[in-house]
Amino acid sequence: MSAFDTSFVRVGTERRARPAKAARQAISLQRFLPFLLPVVVIAAWQLGSSFGWISTRIMPSPAAVVVAFWQTTISGQLPNNILVSAGRAFAGLLVGGSIGFLLGIANGVSRLSEQLTDTTLQMLRTIPHLAMVPLVILWFGIGEESKLFLTALGVLFPIYLNTYHGVRNVDRGLIEMGRVYGMSNWTLFRKVIFPGALPSILVGLRFALGIMWLTLIVAESIAASSGIGYMANNAREFGMTDVVVLTLVIYAILGKLADVVARAIERRALRWNPAYQN
Amino acid sequence: MSAIAIDRPRTESANIASQIASAAAIHIKGLEKSFGNNRVLRGIDLDIPAGQFVAVIGKSGCGKSTLLRILMGLEEPSAGYLRFDTAEGSDAQPNTRIVFQEPRLLPWFSVADNVAVGLGEGVPQDISRRETVSVLSEVQLAEKAGEWPSSLSGGQKQRVALARALVSKPGILALDEPLGALDALTRISMQELLNRVWLELGFTAVLVTHDVVGGGSVADRGGGGEKGRWVLYLDVPNPPPRHHGNPALGELEGQLLAAILGETRS
């Protein structure tokens, strides 16, 4: 195999030429390859802690993190906070995502709507939404509204931009075909414009998922009385590094899970596209 | 711009008379079209009897696509008139379908669902299914009904586009350079397919092309043109010389080329 990743051209030839058993081994090896680096890092980290090279005040050992995981799980603290955070995240995604999606569609298909709102949206987009934190606390205090507002604001723009871009880039020839073949506006949207914009909308969704967790972490560490961010901040005050690291791991897992779900949706919704087959 | 027309071979007209009933005759007189100061078409006269195959041949930019768009009802003529005659009566826009230069299939729909687009809305599922399967076997792609368009070759995609145009049994089939993007061999088999479905289904066909040989070998009547005016209006002997290598076809091609290029030079 060359140094370049040519896996996308190999599909038909090399795999079929190999005997079935060797191919199966190659596939199982490929499945574990992504996990090799994390496993090595964690092993080195545990060794470092066990031999006292890494101070437990700076970094707890992986074993201590596992213990912290176990203790907070049986006390119900961790599952509770995960549920609270996930609820906030998805409520924000739902509200902000819907607004962004609807604006993106409206501005993609209607010239009037685009002229009315696009410039304003582009201006708002350049304000880092986390700069709104002081104002949001003044408006909503540290209640649920502040988290919902910030998360919704954060996910709105990537969904808006990608939906708008997707609608704008639907093949003009297909739209003309739809009109010539007598499609009504609604049918044209359902059969041509929306499916045509979907690859771009899903890219926007994946961006939004990243921003969603980021916003939530910040919002919860600054102003919250529950959630994973609150748990981390609380643990910091008591010097419980194991719990702090545990919350980081939880964030990583939640972020990865959201991405896996988004990818699965992508593969299912875009299975007509050769780029997403296999 | 020029037009070539072919009438149906007499021997075959009897058995398809019933189907021809849906075909529309097109009458165009003194047709003009301007976009601002740009006169794209002027003084176009064309009478196409129901069921005829007409090729409009000309260089790119001579207004042939505009003529098709007017025919499809997508543009209004600036002057002159366009009338249709069908068995149901005059003037109403008959069922007109178009095949574009590119297949323009919806990549997120299966081949069968793409063909069903041609039926329009509100057609019951079972009828839609039956018509789709029947027209797909007409273009010899019945076994591809469930595939994605991305798995088809260029020629197969264009055959699906033809099936989509034919599934609603149009009275007029407009062909906007449908063979332009195909390789030479695929083009020949596509020409034969077009010719066969035209003989079988009995629609009126208007082919717009810059391909003198291709236009000549499928159409019944041809004309060449330059800058929106006819220079030649030619009836092709009946039955027309369709086979490649036929000297009569070569002669037809020569006449057309001379007409189109002669006008350019003068």
The pLDDT of A208-220, averaged and rounded, is: 89
The verdict on residue A240 lying in a domain is yes
ipTM: 0.79
Whether A203 and A168 share a structural domain: yes
pLDDT at B159 (0 to 100): 92
Indicate whether A107 and A43 sit together in one domain: no
Q: A243 and A115, same structural domain?
A: yes
Q: Measuring CA to CA, which residue among B5, B2, B74, B4 is closest to residue B33?
A: B74
Quick one: A152 and A212 in the same domain?
A: yes
pLDDT value of residue B201: 85
Residue B68 CA to residue B52 CA, distance in Å, equals 16
Q: Are residues A72 and A15 in the same domain?
A: no
For residue A260, how many other CB atoms are within 10 A of its CB?
Answer: 10
Say whether residue A181 is in contact with chain B using an 8 A CB cutoff: yes
Q: Is residue A1 assigned to a domain?
A: no
Residues A148 and A268 in one domain: yes
The span from the CA of A220 to the CA of A227, in Å, is 7
A12 touches chain B (CB under 8 A): no
> How far away is chain B from the Cα of A263, in angstroms, using its nearest Cα?
18
Residues A176 and A142 reside in one and the same domain: yes
Is the minimum CB–CB distance between B106 and chain A shorter than 8 Å? yes
Contacts of A163 (CB under 8 A, 6+ apart): A100, A101, A103, A104, A105, A108, A197, A200, A201, A204
Nearest to A274 among B72, B104, B150 (CB): B150
Which residue in chain B has the smallest CA separation from A270?
B108
* Per-residue pLDDT band at B11 (split at 50, 70, 90): very low
Give CA–CA dist B147/B35, Å, rounded. 42
The CATH number of residue A94's host domain is 1.10.3720.10
CA–CA gap between residue B179 and residue B216 (Å, rounded) = 13
Task: Give me the residue from B104, B120, B164 closest to A182, CB to CB.
Answer: B120
Kindly list the strands in the beta sheet with B79-86, ordered across the sheet, starting from the edge strand earlier in the chain: B38-48, B25-35, B79-86, B89-90
- What pTM was estimated for this model as a whole? 0.79
Q: Are B193 and B92 in contact (CB under 8 A)?
A: no
Among the partner residues A181, A184, A273, nearest to B107 by beta-carbon distance: A273
Please give the residue of chain A at the shortest CA–CA distance from B174.
A180
Report how far apart, in Å, the C-alpha atoms of A144 and of each of A90, A157, B192 are: 13, 21, 69
Residue A182 has pLDDT above 90, yes or no: no
**pLDDT exceeds 70 at position B180:** yes
Of A223, A222, A202, the closest CA to residue A142 belongs to A223
Percent of chain A with pLDDT over 90: 51
Pairing of strands B232-235, B172-176: unpaired
In a domain, A2, yes or no: no
Is A57 part of a structural domain of the chain? no
* DSSP E strand stretches across chain B: 2-6, 25-35, 38-48, 53-58, 79-86, 89-90, 96-99, 172-176, 204-209, 221-226, 229-230, 232-235
Q: Is the pLDDT of residue B242 over 80?
A: no
**pLDDT value at position B220?**
58
Does residue A169 sit within a domain?
Answer: yes
User: How far from A258 is each of A262, B88, B101, CA to CA, in Å?
Assistant: 6, 60, 43
- Per-range mean pLDDT, top range of A125-129, A195-199, A248-252, B122-126: A195-199
| Overall domain count for chain A | 2
Token code pair at residue B226: 């330059």
A174 touches chain B (CB under 8 A): yes
A55 belongs to a structural domain: no
* Same domain membership, residue A172 and residue A46: no
Task: Name the residue among A177, A184, A272 with its Cβ closest to that of B150.
Answer: A272
Q: Is residue A235 situated within a structural domain?
A: yes
- Asked whether A88 and A145 are in contact (CB, 8 A), the reply is no
Do A15 and A84 sit in the same domain of this protein?
no
Q: Distance between CA A239 and CA A248 in Å, rounded?
A: 15
Chain B stretch 141-170, residues whose beta carbon is closer than 8 A to a beta carbon of chain A: 148-150, 164
**Locus of tokens 């499916």:** A195
How distant is the Cα of B111 from the closest Cα of chain A, in angstroms? 11
Cβ separation A182–B72 shorter than 8 A: no
Average per-residue pLDDT in chain B?
Answer: 77
Q: What is the DSSP letter of B62?
A: S
Mark whether A135 and A14 lie in a shared domain.
no
Q: Which of B74, B100, B107 is closest, CB to CB, to A272?
A: B107
| A242 within some domain | yes
| Cα–Cα dist B142/B162, whole Å | 13
CA B22 to chain centre: 16
In chain A, what is the straight-line distance between the N-terminal and C-terminal CA atoms, in Å? 20
Domains along the sequence of chain B with CATH: 2-95+170-265 (3.40.50.300), 105-168 (no CATH)
Q: Which residue of A has its CA nearest to B149?
A: A272
pLDDT at residue B234 tops 80: no
Say yes or no to pLDDT of A188 above 90.
yes
What's the count of helices (H) and strands (E) in chain A, helices before strands? 13, 0
Handedness of CA A96, A101, A104, A105 (dihedral sign): negative
Q: Domain check: are A42 and A81 in the same one?
A: no
A68 and A21 share one domain: no
Q: pLDDT tens across A11-33, in order?
A: 444 444 455 666 667 777 888 88
- pLDDT grade for A8, boundaries at 50, 70 and 90: very low
In terms of residue numbers, what domain contains A186? 62-276
pLDDT digits over A85-144, tens only? 999 999 999 999 999 999 999 999 999 999 999 999 999 989 998 888 889 889 988 788
Does residue B233 carry a pLDDT above 90? Answer: no
pLDDT above 60 (res B230) = no
